Amino acid sequence: MALTPVVAGVADHSGWAILVSVSANDGSPEVVDRRRVELIEPGLPKQPYEHETAGMNAAEAERLVEEVRESAVHCAERALSQLRSSSIALRVAPLPRLPGSVAEAHASWHIRMRADAMLYHDALCTAAASLGIKVATFPRGEERRHAAGAMATTAERLDLFLNGLRASLGPPWQQDHQAAAARAIATLGQYTTLHLRKPRKP
């Protein structure tokens, strides 16, 4: 018998992320794991492009960013290796690629304000690739529409479903958790047929 796929939806931030793993129970999405994970080791800055590298000489700045990048990949690998997910689902990357240098990031306000978020997004994707985990992405704010489509329901009914999960799961169940769950559901629908079922009361 084929195992039911598990997808981990991700809501990533600078230095940490929320992971919500979703599988299907009789065709209805079911949250099987949720956790907050750290994406940077203690003692390292979470936003080196935006803050700490300002005023540094070029060599020092590059060394710091590289140390943060290596730590982020290591932390992401450790976090994802603890899941039993075959795929992760994230928002679309905030930049087309990581800046080629700190100087490139600092030369553009647009890039500098997004470079740190891109660093963690890239770390998650790099870690997933090293672990053989597939990656799906959705434009920010579009994950609920895609999830509703995967479940052949309306956005309004999907929202009721996601909000209602708090009753069975308990806190924390915030907007990050719901967005991550929606990304997971939208991706899970690529593997199996889904339908809407009201969450059970505990």
Mean pLDDT, range 19-32, rounded to an integer: 94
**85 — pLDDT class (breaks 50, 70, 90):** confident
Average pLDDT value for the chain: 93
What is the domain partition of the chain in residue ranges?
A: 7-188
Percentage of the chain beyond pLDDT 90 is 89
Comparing 27-31, 113-117, 127-131, which segment has the lowest mean pLDDT?
Answer: 27-31
pLDDT at site 200? 52
Q: How far apart are CA 95 and CA 89, in angstroms?
A: 17
Percentage of the chain beyond pLDDT 70 is 96
Domain 7-188 has CATH 3.30.420.40: no
| pLDDT of 3 over the 80 cut | no
| pLDDT of 6 over the 60 cut | yes
| pLDDT of 195 over the 90 cut | no
pLDDT in tens, 121-133: 999 999 999 999 9
> Whole-prediction pTM value?
0.92
pLDDT at site 31? 96
pLDDT at site 202? 40
pLDDT in tens, 101-112: 999 999 999 999
Comparing 66-75, 99-108, 190-199, which segment has the lowest mean pLDDT?
Answer: 190-199
**How far from the centroid of its chain's Cα atoms is residue 77's Cα?**
13
